[in-house]
Structure 1
Amino acid sequence: MQPGPLAQPDQPIQPITVDPGADKGDTSIVERIRQLIISGELGPGCRIVERDVARELGVSRTPVREALKRLAAEGLLEIAPHKGAIVAKMSLRDLAEIMQIREALEGLACRLAVNDITEDHLNDLRKLIDEMREASETGDLYRYSSCNQRFHNVILNIAGNRRLMQMLELIKAQSVRERFKSLLNPGRSRQSLNEHKAILDALEARDPDRAELVMRKHIQAVALNISNLISDSRLF
């Protein structure tokens, strides 16, 4: 397969396809490119050509430039002089730094959530656990990843700390590709499901110490799983 028009020189990707009636604003462009990075269609080291993205989407180069800057701020792209935007690579050191911060912040969020969690919140988390179980059993990793993210977002929303949410949104975006691909590891989705059930159990018990601990252990397990895969050139 030949490279698509949006990346150079050696990553076999599909060109961006656009619904003629879809929103062509900055946010839409950001989301489309982000999904291509997460899925691996735009692999690490791919150069994204601004003019080609603009032509493919039927927009001027200005919103594309702003979208690329936003993705660079999230850590998904690097802006290199005379080269433009390049899909960022993840090193073991990058991973360690990101996951150390995420462990501390998500552990805190889980502790804070204990104070305000309601039975309705718990029911929402239980339903997500059920969806994750179904997705794991059917091998639907996209659905599993989506439910996983929603589970964590429910806890963040209960915690109610806006700045904590903003910091986590930024730090999690920097490893979203690696977190998704780590689910390809045989048995990882089942292990992850058990970790989320332990988090739910701690929240049901309204035990802040235990809630923070099991969340931290979950993030540690995620970090370990990604680090075991990150050197595999087939995935990263």
Structure 2
Amino acid sequence: MEALEKLSPVRRPSLPEAVAQKLRDAILVGQLKPGDRLVEQKLAGSLGIGQPTLREALKELEFQGFVRKSPKKGTYVTKVTLEDFRKIQQVRMALEVVAIEKAAANVTDAALAELARLVTVMRKAGQKFDLAAFHKSDLAFHRIIWDLTGNEYLGLALERIAFGLFAFVLLQREPSAANEFIAAAEQHAQIAAGLRTRDPGRARQAFVEATTDFWSTYHGVNSTKEES
């Protein structure tokens, strides 16, 4: 009974959080596309909410990198170039290798089990080309690693950098790229295997190898797209 008393109450998302999630999903499935302008009055009416609630949701999405506000022009779904990706990824890698090393020293059996479960979810999402499910499980996978560092500031920095980055990588892909997502799930399995060693050096090596494989493919495909 004492253990039950220590459990935290279940928290329901606020209305702005629920709206932000709905808009994130709309972006991920392509209902809202990179570069689309979000007219507040029209969007609030479509969602059946007030503009103050919508503005709170848009603030969250802006922080996460899904939308950008332009002075005197309005709010737009973020449109990221390949050069933007390269710059963001450079910062993300510098931070996340530190997180991986710290996580390897602190990882628990429960965390490893959850990482394995999320890899399974990613595999299934990749097979179905379910971008929203893949993004959700991908982010959850990395959040476990960030939490294991015990450094909330490192986690916050990675959250800010990686959230939108992961999403817009997905938005660049076509349904024919489903195999790439299945491969990405296997790369996450490789990262989890590195953490399972509980050796910071080996975990770092597994992470760098897995991430480099994915980004080499991603940059190669999208460089060709930009040149065509």
* TM-score bucket of the superposed structures, by smaller chain: 0.7 to 0.9
The alpha carbon displacement at 1:167 in A equals 1.0
What is the identity, as a one-letter code, of the residue corresponding to 1:48? L
3-state DSSP of counterpart to 2:148: helix
Contact 2:194 2:203 in 1 (8 A): yes
Alignment partners' CA distance in 2, 1:53 and 1:24 = 18
**5+ residue gaps in structure 2?**
1-11
DSSP-derived class of the 1:175 partner: helix
Matches within 5 A, 1:97-136: 97-136=87-126
Q: Over the residues paired in the alignment, what is the CA RMSD in angstroms?
A: 2.7
Equivalent residue in structure 2 for 1:199, among 167, 175, 191: 191
Moved more, 82-91 or 218-227: 218-227
Give the one of 207, 212, 225 matched to 1:220.
212
What is the TM-score normalised by the length of structure 1?
Answer: 0.77
Identity of aligned residues (%): 28
CA distance in 2, matches of 1:178, 1:39: 11
Q: CA deviation at 1:43?
A: 0.9
**Is the alpha carbon distance of 1:103 and 1:193 closer, same or farther for their aligned partners in structure 2, counting shifts above 3 Å?**
same
Q: 4+ residue runs of structure 1 moved beyond 6 angstroms?
A: none
Choose the corresponding residue for 2:165, options 171, 175, 178: 175
Contact 2:28–2:132 at 8 Å: present in 1 too?
Answer: no
Q: Is the 8 A contact 2:105 2:199 kept in 1?
A: no
Counterpart CA distance in 2 for 1:117 and 1:180 is 28
Residue 20 of structure 2: which of 4, 9, 30 is its match? 30
Correspondence list, 1:69-84, <5 A? 69-84=59-74
C-alpha contact 2:25 2:132 (8 A) present in aligned 1: no
What letter is aligned with 1:70? E
| Distance of 1:163 and 1:68 partners within structure 2 | 23
Q: Any idea what the Cα deviations from partners look like across 1:135-175, whole Å, max 9, x if unmatched?
A: 44555554444333222222222222111111111111222
| Structure 1 or 2: more helix by fraction | 2
1:131, CA displacement in angstroms?
A: 3.5
Measured after TM superposition, the shift of residue 90 of structure 1 is 0.7
Q: CA offsets per residue over residues 33-56 of structure 1, 9 Å max, x none?
A: 222222221112111101112222
Determine if the alignment matches structure 1 residue 190 to structure 2 residue 182.
yes
Name the count of aligned residue pairs.
212
- Using the alignment, how far apart are the partners of 1:77 and 1:221 within structure 2? 28
More deviation, 163-172/68-77: 68-77
- Decide which moves more: 48-57 or 184-193: 184-193
Query: Is 1:42–2:35 an aligned residue pair?
Result: no
Give deviations 1:113-132, integer Å, cap 9, x for gaps: 11111222222222333343
User: In structure 2, what is the equivalent of residue 63 of structure 1?
Assistant: 53
Determine which of 213, 216, 222 is the counterpart of 1:229.
222
Local SS of the residue matching 2:49 = coil
Query: Matches of 2:78 and 2:224 in 1, distance apart?
Result: 15
The CA deviation string for residues 45-84 of structure 1, in whole angstroms up to 9 with x for no partner, is: 1111011122223332222223323323333222223321
Aligned-partner SS, 1:79? strand
Kept after mapping to 1: 8 A contact 2:36/2:76: yes
Partner residue in 1 for 2:43: 53
Measure the CA separation in 2 of the matches of 1:139 and 1:79. 30
**Structure 1: 5+ residue runs without aligned partners?**
1-21
